[in-house]
Amino acid sequence: MAARVVVAGASLGGLRAAEQLRAVGWTGPITAVGDEPHMPYNRPPLSKRVLAGTAPFASLALTPRANTADVEWRLGTRVTGARLRDRVVVLDDGEELDFDGLVVATGLRARRLRCPGPSGPGSGRHTVRTLADIRALRAELALPGVRLVVTGAGFIGCEVAATAVGLGVAEVTVVDVEPLPMLRPLGEFLARALLRRHEERGVRFALGTGVAGFEGDGRVTGVVLSDGRVLPADVVVESVGSVANTEWLAGNGLDLSDGVLTDEHLRARRGADGAATAGGGAFRVGSEAGGRAFGVASEAGGGSARGASHEAGAPPYGTTADAGCLPYVVAVGDIARFPNARYDGVPRRVEHWSIPGDTARHAAKVLTAQLCSQPVDFAPFAPLPSFWSDQYDFRLQSFGSPELGHDDVRLLDGEADGDMLVGYHRDGRLVGVVGLGGPAAAAAAARHRSLLLERPALSPQGAAS
Amino acid sequence: MKVAVDMNKCQDHGQCVFAAPDVFRLDDSGRLAYLSDPGDAFRADVEEAADVCPMQAIRIEA
Ligand SMILES: Cc1cc2nc3c(=O)[nH]c(=O)nc-3n(C[C@H](O)[C@H](O)[C@H](O)COP(=O)(O)OP(=O)(O)OC[C@H]3O[C@@H](n4cnc5c(N)ncnc54)[C@H](O)[C@@H]3O)c2cc1C
Ligand code: SF4
């Protein structure tokens, strides 16, 4: 039988990987395994137009390229384990699929708050990651007089709050341990402006406090904050970050401390103690409160990762790295923790919609070269991150890595109450821009994109090279 | 090659403009304008544009 590639995870990253494998000339069989019952669909509208009811569920379907016509989709099927040395993945029905190349695209799941009180279906506690999540949440928000508490003021939490206001939800309160919403990805200046915009539209905030528990018998009636206050609530959205779906890879000696650590070509790296750290990532993320949706992964994860890769004596990038990685296993999308040669070489997970496409393009080239015994002699992966967020009638549009430039933030154009263009600098150099406002603000951000693309890479110390 | 953008889906993200600047552009107010019948030479660019459109609004017809 011809060599086979198995793609684990059938969402944006899995689909793009299959398309790109075909685009670079991989002709062997491709089997994509996904535990959701749907063909790959688009997540960003979930917290925006789909929750608002202005876009039907059906509009979410991603359109696969024609070149994926012969890809086998095993949907509603979970990968439960892998023996990478034997090149086998195990499915939930017990079947074992052998592969020659493996694409890891199992993404993230919403992190749950672990604290006392009602939980489970019917408790009124929701997450926002899948179509099923939104169906359930929409039904409950439609009830009259609903009081919503959103725990976690990251992008997803703030989008849900904005959408809920638009739906006419009676009371919307957002809780976060940080002093401002979206603080980590955007920094204080924009976070303050966004807080004001949300408050003007009627959202209340409880900031600088965590969640201690939930009141209610079977169903939530209130959220107990760690400062002792109780917020009455009929519906709770938990948007407190995410956990990488790496459990099925445990026991293979990979570094799974926060997603799948890769080399500069997205090949899975060996870890000092892969099996032992497999559950650790989830745990460490779980011990932090504070909503951080599609931002760059937490410093906590990044920091320890840095330690781990240095212990292993691995340079951040620039070598063939075959000794430290599994050349036939690549990771794409939200789950990949990769060094970005454009910046400082520190491996990070990046939860932006553009990343599954970018990683898939590079990883497909790498995997195909490996499987065809050709050299992997192209430049290291160096995407320009970009994300957007829609809240009310305004959009945030970001290019580059604002979180690397929080210490030097400048208003490049506009004013605090209107459209704004904000620049983030490191060592005097522009490393990210964010436009806030209408289409013109997004377009202004886009005009800086080429500038961000052209700049030479930051050296590992962060000094301009 | 025919290109169609579903303007009910398009939300002026402009990602298509980066991928295929000869086919898509944003006008001064940030709204999308595009060529509906670009030459076949642009096929790869337009496929790329369709991929990167966050709203999946771009369709390539034949
Ligand atoms: C509500 C929401 C709004 C967003 N909005 C924006 C936005 O405005 N802008 C932006 O830039 N980004 C946004 N994002 C982020 C963007 O959607 C993600 O970056 C993107 O979905 C990542 O795709 P992925 O394929 O890597 O992972 P995922 O989409 O998480 O896909 C992983 C898939 O693998 C499946 N899976 C997991 N484990 C297994 C297993 N063991 N076996 C089989 N299948 C498995 C999962 O069920 C899932 O289908 C948003 C995300 C969400 C959830
Ligand atoms: S990328 Fe998509 S949404 Fe954005 S302007 Fe182009 S067609 Fe419209």
Q: How close A446 comes to chain B (CA, Å)?
A: 8
Give, using CA atoms, the residue closest to atom 1 of ligand 2: B53
Residues of chain A with CATH 3.50.50.60: 5-110+243-371, 125-238
- Flag if A442 and B30 touch (Cβ within 8 Å): yes
Q: Tell me which fold the domain A5-110+243-371 belongs to.
A: FAD/NAD(P)-binding domain (3.50.50)
Q: Is the CB of A398 under 6 A from ligand 1?
A: no
Q: How many helices (H) and strands (E) does chain B have?
A: 2, 4
pTM of the model: 0.90
HSE-CB for A374 with a 13 A CA cutoff: 11
- Flag if B55 and A63 touch (Cβ within 8 Å): no
Which residue of B50, B54, B59 is in closest CB contact with A44?
A: B54
The domains located in chain B, with CATH, are 2-61 (3.30.70.20)
A45 vs B: CB within 8 A: yes
Q: Is the CB of B53 under 6 A from ligand 2?
A: yes
- Which residue type occupies A262? T
pLDDT reported for residue A312: 35
- Flag if B26 and A446 touch (Cβ within 8 Å): yes
Any idea which residue has 């384990």 for tokens? A81
Determine whether domain A125-238 maps to CATH 3.50.50.60.
yes
Give the neighbor-by-neighbor strand order of the sheet with A101-104.
Answer: A72-75, A30-34, A5-8, A101-104, A325-331, A267-269
The secondary structure of residue A39, as a DSSP letter, is S
Q: How far apart are the CA of A13 and the centre of ligand 1, in A?
A: 8
Q: State the Cα–Cα distance between residues A3 and A19, nearest whole angstrom.
A: 17
Q: How far apart are the CA of A11 and the centre of ligand 1, in A?
A: 6
The answer to whether the CB of A106 falls within 8 A of the CB of A246 is yes
Q: State the Cα–Cα distance between residues A371 and A351, nearest whole angstrom.
A: 28
Q: How far is the CA of A181 from the CAs of A108, A114, A190, A195, A208, in angstroms?
A: 22, 22, 9, 6, 10
- Flag if A442 and B52 touch (Cβ within 8 Å): no
- Flag if A446 and B14 touch (Cβ within 8 Å): yes
Query: Which of A383, A437, A394, A387 minimizes the C-alpha distance to A412?
Result: A437
Q: How close A109 comes to chain B (CA, Å)?
A: 20
pLDDT reported for residue A451: 87
What value, to the nearest 5°, has the Cα angle with vertex A317 and ends A310 and A25?
Answer: 135
Task: Quote the ipTM score.
Answer: 0.91
What value, to the nearest 5°, has the Cα angle with vertex A119 and ends A284 and A177?
Answer: 45
Is residue B13's pLDDT more than 80? no
pLDDT tens, residue by residue, A172-200? 999 999 999 999 999 999 999 999 999 99
- Flag if B51 and A357 touch (Cβ within 8 Å): yes
A353 vs B: CB within 8 A: yes
Strand partners, A237: A126, A150
Q: Is the CB of B25 under 6 A from ligand 2?
A: no
Q: At what angle do helices A354-371 and B43-52 cross, to 10 degrees?
A: 120
Q: How close B52 comes to chain A (CA, Å)?
A: 7
HSE-CB for A245 with a 13 A CA cutoff: 22
- Flag if B26 and A19 touch (Cβ within 8 Å): no
Displacement of CA A270 from its chain's centroid (Å): 22
- Flag if B54 and A388 touch (Cβ within 8 Å): yes
pLDDT tens, residue by residue, A41-69? 999 999 999 999 999 999 999 989 999 99
Q: State the Cα–Cα distance between residues A243 and A327, nearest whole angstrom.
A: 25
pLDDT reported for residue A272: 64
pLDDT reported for residue A377: 92
DSSP per residue, A175-193: EESSSSTTHHHHHHHHHHH
Q: How far apart are the CA of A94 and the centre of ligand 2, in A?
A: 43
pLDDT reported for residue B61: 85
Displacement of CA A371 from its chain's centroid (Å): 28
Displacement of CA A243 from its chain's centroid (Å): 9
Closest ligand 1 atom to A15 CA: 25
Mutate to test the pocket of ligand 2, among B3, B8, B10, B56 (most ligand atoms within 8 A of CB): B10
pLDDT reported for residue B9: 87
3-state secondary structure of A206: strand
Give, using CA atoms, the residue closest to atom 3 of ligand 1: A44
Q: Is the CB of B32 under 6 A from ligand 2?
A: yes
A-chain CB neighbours of B17 within 8 Å are 446
pLDDT reported for residue A456: 59
pLDDT tens, residue by residue, A100-109? 999 999 999 9
Mutate to test the pocket of ligand 2, among B27, B32, B47, B56 (most ligand atoms within 8 A of CB): B32
Q: How far apart are the CA of A428 and the centre of ligand 1, in A?
A: 34
DSSP per residue, A235-291: EEEE-S-EEE--GGGTTSSB--BTBEEB-TTSEEEB-TTHHHHTTHHHHHHHT--S-
Beta-carbon contacts of A411 under 8 Å, excluding residues fewer than 6 positions away, are A189, A420, A421, A422, A423
Per-residue pLDDT of chain A (465 residues; tens, 9 = 90+): 679 999 999 999 999 999 999 999 999 999 999 999 999 999 999 999 999 999 999 999 998 999 999 999 999 999 999 999 999 999 999 999 999 999 999 999 999 999 999 999 999 999 999 999 999 999 999 999 999 999 999 999 999 999 999 999 999 999 999 999 999 999 999 999 999 999 999 999 999 999 999 999 999 999 999 999 999 999 999 999 999 999 999 999 999 999 999 999 999 999 864 443 333 332 222 223 333 333 333 333 333 333 333 333 333 333 344 568 999 999 999 999 999 998 888 999 999 999 999 999 999 999 999 999 999 999 999 999 999 999 999 999 999 999 999 999 999 999 878 999 999 999 889 999 999 998 888 888 988 988 898 865 665 544 433
The answer to whether the CB of A293 falls within 8 A of the CB of A240 is no
B-chain CB neighbours of A395 within 8 Å are 11
B21 vs A: CB within 8 A: no
Phi, psi of A464 (to 5 degrees): -65, 135
